[in-house]
Amino acid sequence: MSTSQGFGSNAPRAKLSQSQLNTVLLRHQAFRKSQPGGVRANLKMRDLSHLDLSGIDLSDADLSGAKLFSARLMGSNLQNANLYAADLRLANLEKADLRRADLRGACLRGAVLSEASLVEVDLRDGTLLHYGENGEMREHSFDDGVITAELTAATVRGADLSRAKLANAFVMQTDLTDAVLRGTKFMRANLTNANMTGCDLTDADLSEANLSGVRLSGAVMTGCAINRANFTNAVLIGAILDAAQLRSPNLVGAVMARAMENPEKELRDILAAHVAWIDGGGKTGKRADLSALDLSGRNLDGINLSAAILQCITLRGASLVGVTLAIADLSLADLRKVDFTGADLRGINLERATLSNANLTDARLGPVHIQTMSGHVWRANLQRARMSMAVLRNADLHKANLAGANLTGTDLRGANLSGADLSGADLTGSDLEGADLTDARTADAIGLT
C-alpha cells in the first residue's frame, strides 16, 4: 500500500538541532503575538526526529513533509498546522491540540494521541508531492501518486475526532477506546481489529468501511451510517444501535448479544443458584453470569443479583424496581429507560454503561464496606457512564465515581453527591436543586454552576 512514508523519501531533509528549532519557535511565538521580528514557522521537509516540542505553540505552522519520527509533542498547540504527508510515526502527541490540522497523507503509525483534540482534522488521501531545489512542491506525475493517511497501531484513547475526515484511511489495530467520533467520516476506511470500546460514533459515516474484528462494546452508534460496511467478527455486544441498524444485513457475521432460548426457566435456575451462592458464601450454588445477554423489556423487580457479572448486558426498557445489585458488574451495559426505582446499587460497576432516560429515583449508589481485615470500601463506579436525561431524584451517590460521566439534562434534585468524584463530568442542563455537593470533586466539570 502507498503511505506517507514514501512522501519525499528521496528528497533531502535538513536535520535541525534542538537549539536551531528553539530559534524557529521563538520567532514563531513573536509572529503569533504580532511582535517585531516574528516569522511564521516554516519547517517543511525538515528532520525533527526525536526532538522535544512538548507544550509549544506551532499553530498555523508549515510542517508539510516534515519528519517527526518519535518526536515529543505532548500538549502542543498544532491548530490549523500544515502536516501534509508528515512522518509522525511513534510520535507522542498526548493531549495535543490538532484542531483543523491538515494531516492528509500523514503517517501516524504507532503514534500516541490519547486525549488529543483532533476535531475537524483532515486525514484523507493526499497527492504525492516532490520538492525541487528551489523548495517548491510539485505533484507526482504517475497514476500511483496518491498517498493514504495512516493511523495504524496508534493509541488514540479518549481523543476527540469529532467531524474529522478519515475517508480511505488505514486505522488497523488502533486503540480508540472512549474516543469521541461524532460525525466523523470513515467512508471506505480500513479499521480492521481496531478497539473502539465505548466510542461515541453518533452520526458518524462508516459507509463501505472495513470493520472486521473491531471491538465496539458499549459504543454509541445511533444515527451512524453503516451502508455496505463489513462487520465480520466485529463485537457489537453492548453497542447502542438504532432499530433500523439492527435490521441491517450488514451486521450479518457480527458478534451480537444473545437471547435465551427459554428465558423463564433459565433465569429461574440462574437466580436460584446465585442465591445459594450468596447464602453459602461462595461454597455452594453458582455465581450468576448474564454477560452479553439480551433481556430487554423483562420484569426483574426485586431480584437479588449481588456481586453478579452482567458485563455488556442489554436490559433496555426492563423493570428492575427494588433489585439488589450491590457490587455487581454492569460495565458497558445497555440500560436505556430501565426502571431502577429504589434499587440497591451500592458499590456497583456501571463504567461506560448507557443509562439514558433511566429512572434511578431513590436508588442507593453509595459505597459498600467490605467486612475484611483491611476494611475495604467499595465505591460505586459510574466513570464515563452515559446518563443523559436520567432521573436520579433523591438518589444516594455519596462517594460515587462519576468522573467523565455524561449527566446532561439529569434530574438530580435532592440527590446526595457528597464526596462524589465529578471530575470532567458534563452536568449541562441538569437540575441540582437541593442536591448535596459537600466535598465533591468538581475539577473540569462542565455546566456546574
Q: Could you give the number of structural domains in the chain? A: 1
User: Do the Cβ atoms of 442 and 423 come closer than 8 Å?
Assistant: yes
Neighbouring CB atoms inside 10 A of 35's CB total: 10
Question: Which SS3 state, helix, strand or coil, does residue 378 take?
Answer: strand
Q: Is 189 within a domain? A: no
Closest CA relative to residue 385, chosen from 429, 348, 413: 348
Q: pTM to 2 decimals?
A: 0.85
Q: Is 295 within a domain? A: yes
Closest CA relative to residue 366, chosen from 332, 339, 389, 394: 394
Distances (CA, A) of 217 to 33, 92, 273, 420: 46, 27, 28, 27
Distances (CA, A) of 95 to 62, 74, 159: 20, 6, 8
Distances (CA, A) of 362 to 129, 218, 395, 400: 63, 26, 4, 15
| CATH code, 316 | 2.160.20.80
Q: Is 230 within a domain? A: no
Q: Which domain holds residue 408?
A: 258-449
Beta bridge partners of 165: 122, 185
Q: Is 269 within a domain? A: yes
Within 8 A by CB and 6+ apart from 357, the residues are 336, 337, 388, 389, 390
Instruction: Please report the pLDDT score of residue 309 as a whole number.
Output: 97
d(CA 237, CA 39): 53
Q: Is 205 within a domain? A: no
Q: Is 414 within a domain? A: yes
Per-residue pLDDT of the chain (449 residues; tens, 9 = 90+): 344 344 444 456 788 888 888 899 899 999 988 888 889 999 999 999 999 999 999 999 999 999 999 999 999 999 999 999 999 999 999 999 999 999 999 999 999 999 999 999 999 976 545 445 544 544 433 334 457 889 999 999 999 999 999 999 999 999 999 999 999 999 999 999 999 999 999 999 999 999 999 999 999 999 999 999 999 999 999 999 988 898 899 898 999 988 888 988 999 999 999 999 999 988 999 999 999 999 999 999 999 999 999 999 999 999 999 999 999 999 999 999 999 999 999 999 999 999 999 999 999 999 998 765 566 789 999 999 999 999 999 999 999 999 999 999 999 999 999 999 999 999 999 999 999 999 999 999 999 87
Distances (CA, A) of 330 to 249, 350, 391: 29, 5, 18
Q: Is 86 within a domain? A: no
Q: Is 284 within a domain? A: yes
Closest CA relative to residue 214, chosen from 193, 239, 187: 193
Instruction: Please report the pLDDT score of residue 449 as a whole number.
Output: 74
Neighbouring CB atoms inside 10 A of 262's CB total: 9
Grid cell of 196 as nine digits: 473502539
Torsion, Cα of 43, 44, 45, 49 (10° steps)? 40
Closest CA relative to residue 3, chosen from 151, 166, 147, 188: 147
d(CA 77, CA 64): 16
DSSP 293-309: BB-TT-B-TT-B-TT-B
Integer-rounded Cα Rg, in Å, for the chain is 25
d(CA 74, CA 54): 5
Closest CA relative to residue 94, chosen from 51, 55, 48, 50: 55
DSSP character at residue 259: P
Instruction: Please report the pLDDT score of residue 258 as a whole number.
Output: 86
Element (H, E) at 275: helix 263-279
User: Do the Cβ atoms of 279 and 271 come closer than 8 Å?
Assistant: no
d(CA 308, CA 328): 5
d(CA 326, CA 339): 16
Name the pairing type of β-strands 129-131 and 137-139: antiparallel
